[in-house]
Structure 1
């Protein structure tokens, strides 16, 4: 039985959304195709009508999650304070605790260097990160634009590293200290209060 194109597209998006959430929460190896399909309310069989393999789903999930994240960043980038708030929110306890709804780079970057994952993870993650660098370079309220690209790479690496380390700790006080100290070490523009202007 063939389904209308709109219904098929809706199911495809639902699979992507659930898979992205589950992959970020439990890792690529921690989730089976059957679990993903069950979470969408579908049976295992139709999976291969949408994706050639689990690896193809993984790659498309990075694109899907990346598009949503870039939409949030673009919204934040409308004002200098929006960008500051974006950085503060990223380095928050709430984001640290929200793996499933959190950042795809913090969730997936460690998997990208594993053998056989270059196409499934490395390529789309690299494409996404290049766009992120460009967005931060142009939208962040840098005091000087002289080395904005290098500054963007440093701030993004600090943000991602801070969250990954904070999530890895089994000591709540240390975890929060990591988030706090990473934020304190970022450019003043990232920490400025709402009343300051860029």
Structure 2
């Protein structure tokens, strides 16, 4: 059996973190095992413990990576839309869409990790830092936090009611409310 080079190990670690982030947001942390994560990237469970101290360490790293990626996407929106106001409007439309509602694995980490992290204080510092960074992109402290809370809350409610008419109503009402928050 051959040893994995350092470059391959780094690539594998990155793949594991990305897969874990997606699976944890999609299915919930308690519903995803280390074996599930490793299987999703074609690696053995034994290799996991060469890279991570525990599942908890992976959860924290996966959340931090998801928030960093999200903040990077938010920053790119400003460039893509020629300014922050147009970027914010674009974010509202995409964030509060049926596609975002129906695809939690690739969606916002604030919404995707909210339920699990509320029950597990071990990861709250990572979550709080990510929320602060996202809110900071939106607007000043209070306004940014209120706007992000509107987005995340609406997305969670829309997911919980998916398949019923109120889900679409929640998305529509929240789009209107979020737009007014930063005027």
TM-score in terms of structure 1 length: 0.84
| d(CA) in 1 for partners of 2:179, 2:17 | 35
Q: Which runs of 5+ in 1 are unaligned?
A: 138-147, 191-197
Aligned length: 178
| d(CA) in 2 for partners of 1:65, 1:75 | 15
What is residue 125 of structure 1 aligned with on the other side? Answer: 127
- Contact kept, 8 Å, 1:91 with 1:183, in 2: the verdict is yes
- Contact kept, 8 Å, 2:132 with 2:145, in 1: the verdict is no
What is residue 44 of structure 1 aligned with on the other side? Answer: 45
- Contact kept, 8 Å, 2:92 with 2:179, in 1: the verdict is no
* 1:150 paired to 2:113: no
What is residue 32 of structure 1 aligned with on the other side? Answer: 33
- Contact kept, 8 Å, 2:147 with 2:181, in 1: the verdict is no
Q: Which runs of 5+ in 2 are unaligned?
A: none
* 1:53 paired to 2:78: no
| Residues 93-138 of structure 1, C-alpha deviations (whole Å, 9 max, x = no match) | 1100111111111111122222xx222x21110111111122222x
Structure with the higher fraction of residues in helix conformation: 2
2:156 to 161, 164, 169: 164
| Residues 1-56 of structure 1, C-alpha deviations (whole Å, 9 max, x = no match) | 54222111100000011111111110001111111101010011000011100000
Quick one: structure 1 residues 86 and 170, their matched pair in 2 at CA, closer, same or farther if it must change by over 3 Å?
A: closer
Quick one: structure 1 residues 61 and 161, their matched pair in 2 at CA, closer, same or farther if it must change by over 3 Å?
A: same
